[in-house]
C-alpha cells in the first residue's frame, strides 16, 4: 500500500503530538503533584449543616502540621462558611468542600486547588502552605445574584 509523503508526514506529526500530550499528563500527575478533584463521599444537601463536620465548619487539627478544613458553600446568603481562616506556615491542609444548595466553584488563588462544588458531594484536595501571607479563594461558578459576594481569605502565619 502506498502512502503519500505528505500524508505520512502529517501522520508522524499527529503521533508525535499525542506522545507529547501523554508525557505532559504523566509529568503533571506524578512529578508536579497535580491532583484531579473527585467526590470523596455523598452527603444529603438538605441536612449537611445539621450534624457532622459541616455543622461547625472550619479548620481541625489532626496532628502537628496536619489539618482538615471543612468549608460549606451556600447561596442563601451567598458565602463560604468559614470565609476567614488562619493556618500555620508549613502545614498540610486537606480541603473538604460541599454545597448546601446549588452548584458553586472553589478556587484558591495562585495554587492548583480548583474544583466544582456540587450539592450532595464532598470534594477533597490537599495542599501544603509553604509561605506566609494571604491567599484568597473565590466561587468560580455563577450561582445566583449574590455570586460576587462568595469569597474568603486564608491567612498563613
* Inter-CA distances, 32 with 26, 128, 132, 142, Å: 9, 13, 21, 30
Which position has the higher pLDDT, 25 or 107?
Answer: 107
| Residue 35 pLDDT | 66
Q: Which of 60, 38, 44 is nearest to 99 (CA)?
A: 44
**Cα–Cα distance for residue pair 139/137, rounded to 1 Å:** 7
Q: Which of the listed ranges 3-7, 90-94, 113-117 does the model predict with the highest average pLDDT?
A: 90-94
* pTM reported for the whole predicted model: 0.77
For the stretch 20-58, pLDDT in tens is 999 998 888 777 767 666 777 888 888 888 888 999 999
Amino acid at each position: 500500500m502506498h502512502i503519500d509523503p505528505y500524508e505520512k508526514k502529517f501522520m508522524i506529526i499527529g503521533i508525535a503530538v499525542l506522545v507529547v500530550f501523554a508525557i505532559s499528563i504523566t509529568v503533571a500527575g506524578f512529578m508536579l503533584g497535580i491532583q484531579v478533584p473527585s467526590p470523596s463521599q455523598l452527603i444529603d444537601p438538605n441536612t449537611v449543616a445539621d450534624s457532622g463536620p459541616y455543622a461547625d465548619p472550619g479548620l481541625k487539627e489532626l496532628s502537628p502540621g496536619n489539618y482538615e478544613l471543612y468549608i460549606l458553600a451556600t447561596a442563601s446568603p451567598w458565602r463560604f462558611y468559614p470565609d476567614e481562616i488562619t493556618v500555620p506556615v508549613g502545614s498540610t491542609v486537606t480541603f473538604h468542600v460541599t454545597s448546601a444548595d446549588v452548584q458553586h466553584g472553589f478556587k484558591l488563588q495562585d495554587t492548583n486547588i480548583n474544583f466544582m462544588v456540587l450539592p450532595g458531594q464532598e470534594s477533597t484536595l490537599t495542599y501544603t502552605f509553604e509561605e506566609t501571607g494571604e491567599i484568597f479563594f473565590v466561587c468560580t461558578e455563577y450561582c445566583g445574584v449574590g455570586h460576587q459576594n462568595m469569597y474568603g481569605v486564608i491567612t498563613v502565619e
